[in-house]
Amino acid sequence: MMIVALPFPPLPVMCVVGTEGEYSHASGHDLLSSAISSSCIGNASASSPCTDMRARKSQILLDLNTSVSGLWSKYLERTGTSTEKGGPTKQEVIALCYLEYCRSFREYMSCYPGCKDMRMLGLEDVDINTTTHSHAVSHINARMGTFTDTEADVLAGVTVCAHSGMDYSELLGLYVENLYTESEHWKAGPFKSGSTVLCCQEAPDRQQCAE
């Protein structure tokens, strides 16, 4: 549940595998889960008081919310004005948001012991047949099932979910929209949860959403 509550998508963190030292990538959620677990059972040593660390983490999340929501809000304002032309495309805005996620994740992970030189693959380098991709499908579905999208969705008791046929860039788009929606909801008041998650109509075979 702790991972679900955090807005970070599972980022493709570069790593070295095998005896040949081949480059690959691991899901950032695996690294984050291990860091949180170690911290919870007292295996991680803090370099500053717990209250200061909590404040630092909160500020990192707030800055991420502000930057990503700001980028998406400007995109929506521009596309909603028919007289205004030019500017970044939707995919370009998602790519900019991806860089913000990477920057914020590095900062957040620096709150735990470990290597500070954390590097991520590009947005287009994550294949759909990877752990990172499957983690993203499960995580964004869990977030959308917990933090519902709109008042209409709350009243209807449904929300759209991701599926394994989406590429990683499309999933990142859902993360961006979800974070923006959360930001707008918090401005209006507390969330209502408990909606039923239904599959996206574009899903291949209308398959069941990933658990």
The pLDDT tens digits of the residues spanning 106-123 come to: 999 999 887 778 899 999
pLDDT for 68: 97
More reliable by pLDDT, 166 or 152 = 166
pLDDT for 164: 84
Of the pLDDT bands very low, low, confident and very high (cuts 50, 70, 90), residue 198 is: very low
Instruction: Flag the least confident range among 27-36, 118-127, 160-169.
Output: 160-169
The pLDDT tens digits of the residues spanning 32-43 come to: 998 888 776 554
By three-state DSSP, how is residue 32 classified?
A: helix
Q: What is the pTM of this model?
A: 0.78
Query: Is the per-residue pLDDT at 57 higher than 50?
Result: yes
User: 82-113 burial string, b = 16+ CB within 10 Å, else e?
Assistant: eeeeeeeeeeebbbbbbebbbebbbbbbebbe
Please name the residues in contact with 182: beta carbons below 8 A apart, sequence gap of 6 or more. 7, 65, 147, 191
Instruction: Flag the least confident range among 32-41, 131-140, 179-188, 196-205.
Output: 196-205
